């Protein structure tokens, strides 16, 4: 049998025993040891008196976790709002009146009407381009025409006083 075993080659090798290694003594069982019963199920008795205590602890733990989650969500939302507010402020410093949700800023022309154009039905400027009817609609005027009109108004106001 040894010749056919997988340890056949090891059976011919000599064993060298170390003098420091020895076989441990046999264990003697005390005579008063309690033997295991045939069934251990009577020993698995759960005390249901702990149930209310465990349930109240679980409810308080869940409420605490929900409060922490709500506080964390509020903190994250306020942090995101603060980032968005800072971003909008930075954009407004570059382009006042800019709102990222509203889209692109489109320049609009402002038509300035002085007091003389509102009282008379038709007013002519010096260049003949800017005829303004009493209804308030004006043909396109150049920036230079507006500048000339304002300078003339300032000069007439200073000469009256």
Does a structural domain hold residue 102?
no
Does a structural domain hold residue 127?
yes
Does a structural domain hold residue 141?
yes
69-81 confidence digits (pLDDT tens): 999 999 999 999 9
Does a structural domain hold residue 20?
no
From CA 133, how far away is CA 121, in angstroms rounded?
6
pTM score of the predicted model: 0.35
Average pLDDT over residues 24-50: 84
13-35 confidence digits (pLDDT tens): 877 778 788 888 898 888 888 87
At CB < 8 A and 24+ separation, what contacts does 122-125 make? 125/149
151 to each of 127, 128, 144, 154, 161, how far by Cα in Å? 14, 17, 10, 5, 16
From CA 130, how far away is CA 138, in angstroms rounded?
7
Is a pLDDT exceeding 70 seen at residue 5? Answer: yes
The domain tally of the chain equals 2
In percent, the amount of the chain with pLDDT more than 90 equals 22
Domain that holds residue 78: 50-94
DSSP state of 106: -
Does a structural domain hold residue 147?
yes
156 to each of 2, 63, 124, 151, how far by Cα in Å? 132, 77, 17, 9
Does a structural domain hold residue 5?
no
Does a structural domain hold residue 25?
no
From CA 75, how far away is CA 86, in angstroms rounded?
16
Does a structural domain hold residue 18?
no
131-160 confidence digits (pLDDT tens): 555 555 556 778 888 899 999 999 888 887
Is a pLDDT exceeding 50 seen at residue 53? Answer: yes
Is a pLDDT exceeding 90 seen at residue 4? Answer: no
């Amino acid at each position: 049998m040894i010749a056919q075993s997988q340890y056949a080659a090891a059976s011919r090798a000599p064993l060298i025993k170390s003098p420091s290694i020895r076989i441990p003594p046999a264990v003697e069982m005390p005579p008063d040891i309690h033997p295991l019963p045939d069934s251990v199920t009577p020993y698995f008795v759960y005390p249901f008196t702990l149930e209310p205590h465990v349930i109240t602890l679980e409810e308080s733990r869940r409420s605490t976790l929900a409060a922490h989650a709500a506080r964390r969500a509020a903190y994250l939302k306020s942090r995101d709002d603060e980032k968005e507010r800072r971003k909008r402020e930075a954009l407004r410093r570059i382009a006042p009146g800019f709102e990222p949700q509203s889209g692109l800023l489109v320049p609009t022309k402002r038509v300035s009407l002085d007091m003389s154009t509102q009282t008379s039905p038709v007013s002519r400027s010096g260049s003949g381009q800017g005829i303004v009817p009493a209804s308030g609609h004006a043909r396109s005027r150049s920036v230079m025409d507006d500048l000339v009109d304002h300078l003339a108004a300032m000069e007439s106001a200073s000469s009256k006083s």
